[in-house]
Amino acid sequence: MVITAGPEFVMMAQTDEELRHIARVADLVTPDGVGVVWAARRQGHGVPERVTGVELGMDLLATAEERKRPLRVYLLGAQEPVLQLCVTRLQRQFPHLKFAGHHGYFQPDELPGILAEVAAFAPHVWLVGLGQPRQEKLIYGSLAHLPPCVAIGVGGSMDVWSGTVKRAPRLFQAVGAEWLYRLIRQPSR
């Protein structure tokens, strides 16, 4: 289980006991936000750089494609048309991999059926983009019932991979100010 922990995740984990436990038992937690990188450094942890879900997921798929690894990848999350667009795009971009997916707007009673679908597909990589902390809780609660796989909470990455949402301009990213761009665009965050 991989968590990309941005400032919002870190703050939620202060008060959410379950989330804190999940973060402790996760196999890998990456600092997904320049604020987390700064805070970690201040506390003496050598964190080299920010690692976002968008980049981690994309680099993983690109590396598998480069090595011609026929990985099965299941995407769970986003609006139905976005998910479909994302699967189509990724399949075209990474022909050695095999993609399947389900949108993220389902009722709780639909979850067992969706997990059965995931289990039948037996993904090597399971990308879950439902927003934090829901995606982490769902992964934590489901992994034991699935064939072994690497599950990554990717937040809104499918919106980006599908081309539906644009990331901050590179300049903002390069100077560690993507948060400023998002603050301006989505003040409620």
Question: Where along the sequence are the contacts to ligand UDP (CB under 6 A)?
Answer: 77-79, 104-105, 129-132, 155-156, 158-159
74 and 100 Cβ atoms separated by less than 8 Å: yes
Return the amino acid letter for 141.
G
Closer by beta carbon to ligand UDP, 19 or else 96: 19
CB of 53 to ligand UDP, least distance (A): 7
CB of 120 to ligand UDP, least distance (A): 21
The residue behind tokens 């999940």 is 22
CB of 104 to ligand UDP, least distance (A): 2
Closer by beta carbon to ligand UDP, 7 or else 176: 7
Label the pairing between strands 2-5 and 28-31: parallel
CA angle 63-65-69, nearest 5°?
95
CA angle 74-92-105, nearest 5°?
40
Structure tokens at 9: 């995740």
Closer by beta carbon to ligand UDP, 57 or else 155: 155
Closer by beta carbon to ligand UDP, 123 or else 155: 155
CB of 151 to ligand UDP, least distance (A): 15
User: CA-to-CA distance for 161 and 188, rounded, in angstroms?
Assistant: 23
